[in-house]
Structures are given as structure tokens and as C-alpha cells.
Amino acid sequence: MIDTHSHIFSEEFDEDRQRVVKEAVDVGVRNVILANVDSSTIDRLETMQEQYPDFCFSAMGLHPTSVNNDYTTELETIKNRLTAKKYIAIGEIGLDLYWETSFIDEQKEVFKTQLQWALELNLPVIIHVRKAFAEVFEVLRYFGNHTPRGVFHCFSGGIQEAAYVTKLGFYLGIGGVLTYKNTNLPEIIKSVGISRLLLETDAPYLAPVPYRGKRNEPKFMVEVLKKMAQVFDHTEERVDEITTLSAKELFGIG
């Protein structure tokens, strides 16, 4: 398995990071992709990347909830890191109108700028959307037939949005929410097909059942794999194989 979206560089893991990595490897997680948030998380992310060079890959980007008045300085810092180090993706980027709506214009501009970088650098994007599908599609439409490739991480849309996202060539990132009771994610993932799905945790957030409410860890992804196998009536091995191959292809990792 590849955990395509994780924040295990964050301080929630300072006490036991080494154990978390070891236990993930023990259950079959071969790689984790670290997704950046803003300038305040870069040092932690890069330190973890250096400590676990074979286990971690990293994405650099400015998260929409970190977009405020000093977004130009933030963007400059992110751009510098992108050119200074080896990053496999731009992320996480996108729009979030759940927490904050006052910087919507700035969020759109920052999102668009980073999508442009993805095209220039030929990198995939990791997109975060919360209560903003229409607005995200509006920004993507600006790119016409030349949208970057990427994933809508922790997909939270409906059937129609899923159809549109996959029509544009994007993957859906699926994590702990798939195991929750009141979700229509099972029918959504069935409607797009297993070849458009990636596994992820978003650790420390969104732990799957039976760990819901606890700190999430890459090793818990086994529960998401199990549930996905049930939904498609495949073996876990087959689901692992297909989703891992998709992750390798999208992010260009061996």
C-alpha cells in the first residue's frame, strides 16, 4: 500500500514517529506521501523526508486554509522550496470555504498559481476541496483541456462531482471516511471504478472505524483497504495491487 496523503511530520507524532513508521511498514505500507500545509510546516516535513528517504515522498504547496493577507510571501517561500529540493507533487492546494470565506478571491488566485506551477514543472497536484466544488471546477475550467494531473484527496463530493473529476482525469483519494456509517462513498467509488482510486489516511485526521476519533496512522489504512475490497468484491491483495500501481503511476515513484 501507499499512503498518498499524510501529515505524520506534524507534532502529534513527535513522541513515537519511529514506531509509527515501523508499524506501518510491518502491515504493508511501503511508502507515505507527506503533504505540506504552509511555511510553518516545511522544516518538519523536510526533516522527516531526510530521516526516512526510502519511506517518504513529499509534496510542497500552500493549503487553502493558510491563505490570508501574506499569501504572496507564503507563495514565494513555497516556490523556493519546490526548486531547491526533490518534490514529487504540488500539494496540498485547493479551496476551502468551510472554515473561512473571507479570502475566497485570494484562495482562488493561490490555487490557480500553483496549478500553473504544476504544469510548468510537470508535477501532479494534490487537491483539497471543502464546500467548494463549484469554485474549484471554475478555476480548473480556466485551464481548458490542459489541467494538470492529480488527485482530489479525501474526496467529499457526490456522484456527479466524482464523474466530473474523473472525466478530467483526476483520481479520488479515499481514506477513513469510507468506513463510516453515514456515508455514500461506497456507491460513489463503485460509480467511478477502482482504477480511479488511491488509498490515503490524512493522518493524524479521519481515522477509520474502529479507531474513529483517535489519532490516525498509516497502519490503520488496512481498514480502508478491507472496506474497499468488500465494496468491489475483490480480494484485499487485488485492491492493494491496483491502487498501489495507480499511485506509482500518478506520482512517478518506483
Q: State the residues that interact with Zn ion by CB under 5 A.
A: 35, 202
Nearer to Zn ion, 24 or 35 (CB): 35
Residue 62 near residue 110 (C-beta atoms within 8 A): yes
Q: With both helix axes pointing from N to C terminus, report the angle between 185-192 and 221-232 in degrees, rounded to the nearest 10.
A: 60
Residue 53 near residue 84 (C-beta atoms within 8 A): no
Nearer to Zn ion, 21 or 93 (CB): 93
Q: Residue with C-alpha cell 472554515?
A: 99
Nearer to Zn ion, 153 or 231 (CB): 153
Nearer to Zn ion, 46 or 202 (CB): 202
Cβ of residue 170: shortest distance to Zn ion, in angstroms?
16
Nearer to Zn ion, 3 or 202 (CB): 202
Q: Is 31 helix (H, G, I), strand (E, B) or coil?
A: strand
Cβ of residue 126: shortest distance to Zn ion, in angstroms?
8
Q: Is 139 helix (H, G, I), strand (E, B) or coil?
A: helix
Q: With both helix axes pointing from N to C terminus, report the angle between 133-141 and 104-121 in degrees, rounded to the nearest 10.
A: 50
Residue 243 near residue 229 (C-beta atoms within 8 A): no
Cβ of residue 144: shortest distance to Zn ion, in angstroms?
28
Here the cell at position 194 is: 477502482
Nearer to Zn ion, 48 or 231 (CB): 48
Cβ of residue 99: shortest distance to Zn ion, in angstroms?
13
Cβ of residue 5: shortest distance to Zn ion, in angstroms?
6
Nearer to Zn ion, 126 or 239 (CB): 126
Cβ of residue 230: shortest distance to Zn ion, in angstroms?
25
In whole angstroms, give the CA distance from residue 22 to residue 25: 5
Cβ of residue 193: shortest distance to Zn ion, in angstroms?
24
In whole angstroms, give the CA distance from residue 119 to residue 250: 14
In whole angstroms, give the CA distance from residue 253 to residue 240: 16
Residue 204 preceded by cis peptide, ω within 30: yes
Could you write out the DSSP letters of every residue in 85-122? S--SBEEEEEEE-SS--TTHHHHHHHHHHHHHHHHHHT
